[in-house]
Chain A
Amino acid sequence: MVVSILNGFAIGFLLFVLAVGLSLVFGMMDVLNLAHGALFLGGAYLGAALSGGWGGFLTALAVAAVAGALAGGVLSLMTEPLRNRTHLDQALLTLGVALVVAELLIMVFGDDPLSVDAPPGLDGSVTLLGAVYPSYRLVIIGIGAVLALVVWLVVERTRVGALVRATVADREMVATLGVDNRLVKVAVFAVGSALATAAGVLGGPIYGARPGLDAAVLILALVVVVIGGLGSVRGALVGALVIGQVDTFGRVLLPDLASFILFAALAIVLVVRPQGIFSGPVGAR
C-alpha cells in the first residue's frame, strides 16, 4: 500500500516535469507540441549513452537541459511562420518533427531497448515502514518536488512569470502593452523542452530507452495537460500527481481496464470542461 502510494508520487512528479512545458506552451500559444514525447525520448537515449557513475549522470542531465532548450528554441522558430495559419497546421508540423526525430534516434541508437542504471549509491533500496522501495525513486520524488517549487516560484513570483501568466490569460492584450510575446514564447518553449529532455534522463532508470516510448509518454503528458488545465503550473502538478496515482492504483486494482481508465478520464474532461480543471476563466479563450 505504502509502496503503491510512493510509486504514484514518483511517477507523478516525473510526469509533472515532463508535462509542465507542454502545458505552458499550449496555454500560451495554443500550439500543441506533439514532439514533446520525442524530446523525452532524446533525453532518455542521452542518459543511456552516458550512463554509469555520477559523472555520466550529471553530464547527461546538463547536456539534456542544454540540448532540450536548443530544440525548444528551434521548434518555436519553426512554428513562427505558421502563426497566421491554423493551430492544426502547427500541431501537424510538430507531429512531423516528432516522426523525424524518433526515426533519427533509432538510426543512431539502434532498435534495441536500452536500460539505464541509476548512479551508484542510488541503485539500492531502502526499507520504509516495512516495505522495500528503490532509493532512486525516492530521489525522484525529491527532485520533482524541488523542481515543482522552483517553477511555481518563477511563474508566480517573478516579473517573467507574470508575463507568462498574462500571455496565457490574454495574449493580444499583452502584445498591446508593448511586450514582444514571440520572445516570451521562445523562452517558454525552450525551458519547457529543457524540462522534458531532463525528465527523459531522470526517467531513464525507471523507463529505459526504447522506440515507441515517445508516443507512450506523449499521451500521458496530454492527459495531464488536459486534466490539469492549459497554462497552469498548479494544474499540471495536481494533474500529474493524480494521474500518477490513478495509473498505479488502476494497474493494481483493475489490471485489465488500466489503459481504458486514463483515456476515459481524458475523454470525460475534454467533454465536460475542455479548458481543464485549473485553468483561468472561460471567457479568456
Chain B
Amino acid sequence: MTAAPQIEVPGGAAAAPPRVTRGRGLLVAVAVLVVLAAAPLFLAPFATTTLTRIVVFALFAVSLDLLVGVTGMPSLGHAGYFGAGAYAAGWVSINVTAEAPVPLLVGAVFGALAAALTGWVTVRSSGVFFLMLTLAIGETLQQVADSWESVTGGANGLAGIPATRVAGTALANPGYTYWYVLVAATLGVALVVLLARSPFGAALRGIRDNEPRMRALGYPTALYKYAVFVVAGSAAGAAGALLIAQQRLVTPADLGFMTASFALLAVIIGGAGSLWGACLGAALVIIVRDALGPSLDGHGTLVLGIAFVLVVYLLPRGAAGVRLFRRRT
C-alpha cells in the first residue's frame, strides 16, 4: 500500500490520496450525485437530454482515463470499443430484447470482446507508437461499421432502436431515461474508481511510471496492460449501451477519430489520472459541442482545439504532476 506523502510517490499526489482526502472526496461525490439525481425535476427536457449525453460521455472518458492516466497508455482509438458496445446493444435491442439490463450487459461484453481481440497487439508498444496503433485500430473498427451493412446498417448506422425497458415499461420520457443512465453510469464509474484504488490499480500506476522496474520486480506487465485494456474496453462498451438508450441511434461517426479525440481531450482537460477529472472534462466537451456549438455556427471544434492547446501548456508542471508516459532510462 502506498504511504502518506512523506515519501516521493511516483505520480505525485494524484496517485494515492491519503485517507483524509478520500473521506472528503466521498462526501463531495455523494453531494454531486444528489444534485445530478434531482436535476430532471428542475430542467427542461432539452437540458436533461444534454445532461444525459454528458453522463454517457463521462463514463466513456473515465474508461479512457483508466488507460491514459492510470496506466500511461495513450489511446486514440478508444471510441472503437465505445461504438462496438453501442452497436451490439442496439442490435440486441432491435432483434432480441430491450429489457434492461440486457443491452447494458451486452454492450459491456462486446466492448470487452473487441478490446480483447485487438488489444493483444497494442500491449507490445508504448508511447507515441501505441497512439498510432490505436488510431489505426479505431479507424479499422469504424471501417467495419461502415462496410458491414447487413448488421450495422452501413453508413446510415443503426436507426430506430427501441427505448430501453425497465421492468416492462419503455423509458420514453427524457427524465426517466436520464435516471436509468445516471444509475448505470454511476455504477460503472464507481467500479472503475474501486479498481484504480485497489492493489491492481497501484500496479498499473507503477507500470505507468516505470515499466522496466515493474518487470524487474516480477510483475507480468504485458498481462496487466492487456487486462486493463480489456476492462477499459468493457467500460467504454457499457457507455456505448447507454448512448443508444439516450440517442436511439448509432452511426460509424461514433467510432471515429473525432469522437476518440474529444474523449482524449476530456481526459486531458480534467487531468489525466484523476478519474473524476475526466467527468468534468466530458461535461465541458459536450457542453461546448452540443449546447454552444450551434450558436457558434458549428465551430465548437475551434473552441475545443484552443482549449486543447491551452490545457497542454498550463496543465501539470513537469514531474510533480501526473506523468502519462513511462520514463526513458
Contact = CB atoms under 8 A, between A and B. Distances in A.
Within 8 Å by CB, do A and B touch in the complex? Answer: yes
Contact of A271 (B121, B264, B318): B121
Interface string A88-99: 110111011111
Contacts of A92: 264, 268, 308, 312
A14 interface: no
Interface residues of B, number: 36
Given A219-B135, A226-B132, A266-B132, A100 B309 contact: yes
Interface residues of A, number: 38
Nearest to B120: A271
A82 interface: yes
B195 to A, nearest CB: 23
Given A100-B306, A222-B132, A87 B301 contact: no
Given A93-B312, A96-B312, A263-B140, A87 B305 contact: no
Interface stretch (B49-57, B104-112, B122-130, B167-175): B122-130
A249 B233 CA distance: 35
Given A91-B128, A226-B132, A260-B140, A96 B324 contact: no
Contacts of B264: 92
Contacts, number: 104
A100 to B, nearest CB: 4
B323 interface: yes
B137 interface: yes
Interface string B286-329: 00000000000001011011111100110000100001110000
Contacts of B140: 259-260, 263-264, 267
A270 B133 contact: yes
Contact of B309 (A86, A93, A107, A260): A93
Contact of B305 (A97, A259, A266): A97
B257 interface: yes
Given A32-B131, A100-B305, A256-B147, A270 B318 contact: no
Contacts of B299: 103, 106-107
B14 to A, nearest CB: 15
B133 A32 contact: no
A226 to B, nearest CB: 6
Contacts of B127: 86-88
Contacts of B257: 215
B136 interface: yes
A37 B268 CA distance: 22
A219 B139 contact: yes
Contacts of B268: 92
Contacts of A107: 299, 302
A226 B324 CA distance: 22
Contact of B302 (A91, A104, A264, A267): A104
A104 B299 CA distance: 9
Given A88-B127, A263-B140, A100 B302 contact: yes
A81 interface: yes
Q: Which of B125, B136, B139, B143 has the most CB of A within 10 A?
A: B136
Interface in A62-117: 81-82, 84-89, 91-93, 95-100, 102-104, 106-107
A267 B323 contact: no
A222 B139 CA distance: 13
Among A82, A89, A104, A226, which residue has the most Cβ atoms of chain B within 10 A? Answer: A89
B129 A97 contact: no
B74 interface: yes
B261 interface: yes
B306 A266 contact: no
Nearest to A32: B128
A256 B129 CA distance: 27
Contacts of B261: 95, 99
A156 interface: no
A147 to B, nearest CB: 25
Interface string B225-242: 000000000000000000
Interface of B: 74, 121, 124-125, 127-129, 131-133, 135-137, 139-140, 143, 147, 257, 261, 264, 268, 299, 301-302, 304-309, 312-313, 318, 323-325
22 contacts: A81-B313, A88-B127, A88-B325, A97-B309, A99-B261, A99-B304, A99-B308, A100-B302, A100-B305, A103-B302, A104-B302, A106-B299, A219-B136, A219-B139, A256-B147, A259-B140, A259-B143, A267-B136, A267-B140, A270-B125, A271-B121, A271-B125
Interface of A: 30, 32, 81-82, 84-89, 91-93, 95-100, 102-104, 106-107, 215, 219, 222, 226, 256, 259-260, 263-264, 266-267, 270-271, 274
Pick the 3 closest A-B CB pairs, nearest first. A99-B305, A96-B308, A86-B325
